Amino acid sequence: MDRSAEFRRWKAQCLSKADLSRKGSVDEDVVELVQLLNEREQFFTTSSCAGRIILLDGSINGFEVQKKDCCWLLVTHRPCIKDDMVAALKKANGDAILKFEPLVLHVQCRQLQDAQILAVRSTHGLEVPLSQEGKLMVTEEYIDFLLKIANQKMEENKKRIERFYNCLQHALERATVTDSHSKEKINEKNNPYSHKKKRNRAKARGKCVTEENDKELENDDDLGISVTIFPEDY
């Protein structure tokens, strides 16, 4: 079987599997994005989360919440009001942590040269410890303050998903138009490293420090969604 056929088979197999997530379905805000990718023969999505506010209760042991003893007191993909959070916090008997997690999307690609996982992630989260062994460590005023920030992030995240959808749609259209040129260009002995460098920079921006240029760090929050797209001519 050639690689294209193999990829098709694997894609069909993955997409036909039952959705084993807690929710059991793709989040509403990324359904169109997931469809856009899965309609293309060269891609399929393996995981996604549109973005959410969660309250976890567990015991912080050294570094992190121990997941085995951890429960989810609240999960929402929509803005959250203080009363719901306060009510959920009353059920905490361990170390409760509020998190905001933005869009995450993993996409599998067909070609060897783009056989990386197209990992789309935004780095603008929140991770805030709120209680210790059941004792609330912050005021209700602080929870209100925190939820305003979390809800703003949720709204902005939604806008970014729409923006990303539009950019991706255009990129895929361009890729289709130029597709006939791509194979020739691969054989033209371009300097591949200039391309890699661009990709590298784009990806590196998604997070933290670069030794080369700390400006990237200072600007990383301006970029919205961090995504690696492969140049059509590579």
Show contacts with its own copies in window 3-22 (CB under 8 A).
3, 6-7, 10, 14, 17, 19-22
| Alpha carbon distance 58, 91 (integer Å) | 11
Shortest separation between residue 21's beta carbon and its own copies, angstroms? 4
207 contacts its own copies (rule: CB under 8 A): yes
User: Considering only residues 40, 199, 229, 232, which one is a binding residue for its own copies as defined by CB under 8 A?
Assistant: 199
89, containing H or E segment = helix 82-90
DSSP assigned state of 180: H
190 contacts its own copies (rule: CB under 8 A): no
Shortest separation between residue 178's beta carbon and its own copies, angstroms? 20
Shortest separation between residue 229's beta carbon and its own copies, angstroms? 13
User: Considering only residues 146, 168, 225, 227, which one is a binding residue for its own copies as defined by CB under 8 A?
Assistant: 146
The region of 83-91, 148-156, 164-172, 177-185 touching its own copies under the rule CB under 8 A is: 148-156
The region of 80-88, 153-161, 164-172, 174-182 touching its own copies under the rule CB under 8 A is: 153-161
Supply φ then ψ for residue 103, to 5 degrees. -45, 130
- Residue 59 class from Cβ within 10 Å (0-12 exposed, 13-18 middle, 19+ buried)? middle
Question: Of 168 and 220, which CB lies nearer to its own copies in the complex structure?
Answer: 220
Q: Binders of its own copies among 25-54, rule CB under 8 A?
A: 26, 45-49
Question: Of 49 and 177, which CB lies nearer to its own copies in the complex structure?
Answer: 49
Shortest separation between residue 9's beta carbon and its own copies, angstroms? 9
| Alpha carbon distance 119, 203 (integer Å) | 9
Supply φ then ψ for residue 194, to 5 degrees. -65, -40
- Sign of CA pseudo-dihedral 84, 70, 94, 48: negative
DSSP assigned state of 102: -
Residues comprising the chain, all counted? 234
